[in-house]
Amino acid sequence: MGPRALVASCADWAVICTGRPPSAEVAVIAGNRVVAVSPAARAAGARTGMRRREVQSRCPDLEVVARDMAAEARSWEPALAAVEAFAPGVEVLGPGRLALGARGPSRYFGGDAPLAAKVAAAVQAVVAGMSFGSGEAGDWTGCCRVGVADGLFAAALAAQLAPLGQPLVVPREASARFLAPLPVRVLAGAELSTLGELPGTADIAALADLLVRLGIKTLGDFAALPAASVLGRFGTDALVAHRLARGLGGRSLQGRLPPPDWMVAADLDPPADELHAAVFVGRALAEQLHARLVGSGLVCTRLAIEAQTEYGTSLRRSWRHDGALSAAAIGERVRWQLEGWAQSGQYGLNAQSGQSAQSSQPAQPGEPGERGVGAAVEAAQAGRVTRLALVPEEVRPDDGRQLGFWGSDAGAAARAARALARVQGLLGPEAAVTAVLQGGRDYSEQVVLVPWGEPRTPLRPVDGLPWPGRLPGMAPAIVHHPALPAQLMDKDGGPISVGRRGGASAAPACLVIGQGKPLAVNAWAGPWPLEERWWDGGGRRRARLQACTADGAAYLLACEKQRWWVEATYD
Amino acid sequence: MVVSRGAFPGATSLALALLSGPCAGGSWCAVVGAAGLGLVAAAQHGLDLERVALVPSPGAKWPVVTAALLEGFDVVLVCPPARVDRSIARQLEARARERGSVLAVMGEAWPGSADMRLAIVSGCWRGLEGGHGYLWGREVEVEAAGKGAASRARRARSWLGGPFQVAVDGPAVLGAAGPGAGGPSFRSIAGDEATGRSRPQVGAAGLAG
pLDDT digits (tens, 9 = 90+) for A510-534: 888 888 888 888 888 878 888 887 7
All residues at 6 or more sequence positions from A25 whose CB lies less than 8 Å from its CB, including other chains? A38, A40, A41, A44, A46, A59, A61, A62, A63
pLDDT of residue B161: 66
pLDDT of residue B206: 33
Domain that includes residue A450, residue range: 432-467
Query: Which chain B residues touch A453 with a CB distance below 8 Å?
Result: none
Residues A275 and A388 in one domain: yes
State whether residue B121 sits within 8 Å of chain A by CB: no
Q: How confident is the model at residue A146 (pLDDT cuts 50, 70, 90)?
A: very high
Written in H, E and C, the secondary structure of A490-549 is: CCCCCECCECCCCCECCCCCEEEECCCCEEEEEEEEEEEEEEECCCCCCCEEEEEEEEEE
Residues A362 and A353: beta-carbon distance below 8 Å? yes
CA distances for B191 relative to A180, B133, B168, angstroms = 86, 24, 10
pLDDT of residue A128: 82
A251 domain residue, yes or no:
no
pLDDT of residue A464: 74
Mean pLDDT of A49-71: 87
Could you give the CA distance from residue B42 to residue B16 in angstroms, rounded to a whole number?
6
B103 burial type by CB count under 10 A (0-12 exposed, 13-18 middle, 19+ buried): buried
Residues A474 and B46: beta-carbon distance below 8 Å? no
All residues at 6 or more sequence positions from A282 whose CB lies less than 8 Å from its CB, including other chains? A305, A331, A334, A335, A338, A388, A390
Asked if A416 lies within 8 A of B73 by C-beta distance, the reply is: yes
Residues A145 and A286 in one domain: no
Residues B187 and A498: beta-carbon distance below 8 Å? no
State whether residue B72 sits within 8 Å of chain A by CB: yes
A74-93 pLDDT, tens digit each = 888 888 888 888 888 888 88
* β-pairing verdict for A26-30 and A63-66: parallel
User: Nearest Cα to A83, choosing from A105, A51, A108, A57?
Assistant: A105
Number of domains in chain A: 4
Residues A505 and A534 in one domain: yes
Residues A452 and A498 in one domain: no
pLDDT of residue A416: 86
| Average pLDDT of chain A, as a whole number | 80
Query: Which chain A residues touch B20 with a CB distance below 8 Å?
Result: none
CA distances for B143 relative to B4, B20, B156, angstroms = 10, 19, 7
All residues at 6 or more sequence positions from A324 whose CB lies less than 8 Å from its CB, including other chains? A299, A300, A301, A398, A401
Asked if B72 lies within 8 A of A420 by C-beta distance, the reply is: yes
Could you give the CA distance from residue B157 to residue B199 in angstroms, rounded to a whole number?
11
Mean pLDDT of A358-378: 37
Q: How confident is the model at residue A429 (pLDDT cuts 50, 70, 90)?
A: confident
Could you give the CA distance from residue B84 to residue A295 in angstroms, rounded to a whole number?
51
A8 domain residue, yes or no:
yes
User: Nearest Cα to A298, choosing from A397, A391, A400?
Assistant: A397
* Coarse DSSP helix, strand, coil percentages of chain B, rounded to the nearest 5 percent: 30, 25, 45
A272-331 pLDDT, tens digit each = 777 778 888 888 898 888 888 888 888 887 888 888 887 777 888 877 766 667 788 788
CA atoms within 13 A on the CB side of A20: 22
* β-pairing verdict for A33-37 and A168-169: unpaired
A447-506 pLDDT, tens digit each = 888 888 777 888 888 777 778 888 888 888 899 888 899 988 888 888 888 888 888 888
**3-class secondary-structure state, position B76:** strand
Could you give the CA distance from residue B48 to residue B69 in angstroms, rounded to a whole number?
18
A204 domain residue, yes or no:
no
Most A CBs within 10 A among B23, B78, B128, hence the mutation to make, goes to B128
Residues A436 and A546 in one domain: no
Asked if B130 lies within 8 A of A523 by C-beta distance, the reply is: yes
* β-pairing verdict for A314-320 and A168-169: unpaired
Interface of B with A in 31-50 (CB under 8 A): 35-44, 49-50
A31 domain residue, yes or no:
no
Query: Which chain A residues touch B101 with a CB distance below 8 Å?
Result: none
Name residues of chain B where pLDDT drops below 50: 164-209
CA atoms within 13 A on the CB side of A477: 21
Residues A286 and A390: beta-carbon distance below 8 Å? yes
A359 pLDDT more than 50 = no
Query: Which chain B residues touch A423 with a CB distance below 8 Å?
Result: 55, 58, 65, 68-69
CA distances for A171 relative to A2, A175, A221, A547, angstroms = 13, 7, 21, 87
Query: Which chain B residues touch A474 with a CB distance below 8 Å?
Result: 41, 44, 135-138, 161-163
pLDDT of residue A365: 36
Q: Cis (ω within 30 of 0) for the bond into A163?
A: no
All residues at 6 or more sequence positions from A267 whose CB lies less than 8 Å from its CB, including other chains? A386, A387
User: Nearest Cα to A419, choosing from A452, A393, A454, A375?
Assistant: A452
DSSP classification of residue A171: P
Asked if B40 lies within 8 A of A478 by C-beta distance, the reply is: no
Please tell me the distance in Å from A518's CA to the nearest CA on chain B. 17
A130 domain residue, yes or no:
yes
Mean pLDDT of A545-571: 88
Radius of gyration of chain B measured on its C-alpha atoms: 16
State whether residue B82 sits within 8 Å of chain A by CB: no
Residues A456 and A485 in one domain: no
Residues A390 and A314 in one domain: yes
For chain A, what's the residue count?
571
Residues A281 and A394 in one domain: yes
Residues of chain B with CATH 3.40.50.300: 2-106
Please tell me the distance in Å from A490's CA to the nearest CA on chain B. 13
Mean pLDDT of A144-166: 87
Q: Cis (ω within 30 of 0) for the bond into A226?
A: no
pLDDT of residue A228: 92
pLDDT of residue B54: 92
Asked if A434 lies within 8 A of B49 by C-beta distance, the reply is: yes
Mean pLDDT of A64-81: 86
Residues A393 and A493 in one domain: no
Query: Which chain B residues touch A478 with a CB distance below 8 Å?
Result: 12, 36-38
User: DSSP letters of B127-159?
Assistant: EE-EE-EEEEEEEEEEEEEESGGG-S-EEEEEE
Asked if A423 lies within 8 A of B161 by C-beta distance, the reply is: no
Cβ of A194: how many Cβ atoms within 10 Å?
15
Mean pLDDT of A198-218: 82
pLDDT of residue B209: 30
A427 pLDDT more than 70 = yes
User: Nearest Cα to A295, choosing from A303, A283, A287?
Assistant: A287
Most B CBs within 10 A among A474, A513, A528, A545, hence the mutation to make, goes to A474
All residues at 6 or more sequence positions from B137 whose CB lies less than 8 Å from its CB, including other chains? A473, A474, B125, B126, B127, B159, B160, B161, B162, B164, B166
Residues A147 and A12 in one domain: yes
pLDDT of residue B30: 92
Query: In chain A, what percentage of residues exceed pLDDT 70?
Result: 84
Residues A162 and A76 in one domain: yes
Query: Which chain B residues touch A437 with a CB distance below 8 Å?
Result: 39-40, 43, 49
- The domain that contains A376 carries what CATH number? 3.30.1490.100
* β-pairing verdict for B102-106 and B2-3: parallel
Mean pLDDT of A122-147: 74
> Which CATH code for domain B2-106?
3.40.50.300
Lowest mean pLDDT among A105-109, A205-209, B110-114: B110-114
State whether residue B73 sits within 8 Å of chain A by CB: yes
State whether residue B107 sits within 8 Å of chain A by CB: no
The gap between the terminal CA atoms of chain B, to the nearest Å, is 17
Query: Which chain B residues touch A431 with a CB distance below 8 Å?
Result: 55-58
**3-class secondary-structure state, position A148:** strand
Complex ipTM: 0.78
Residues A365 and A457 in one domain: no
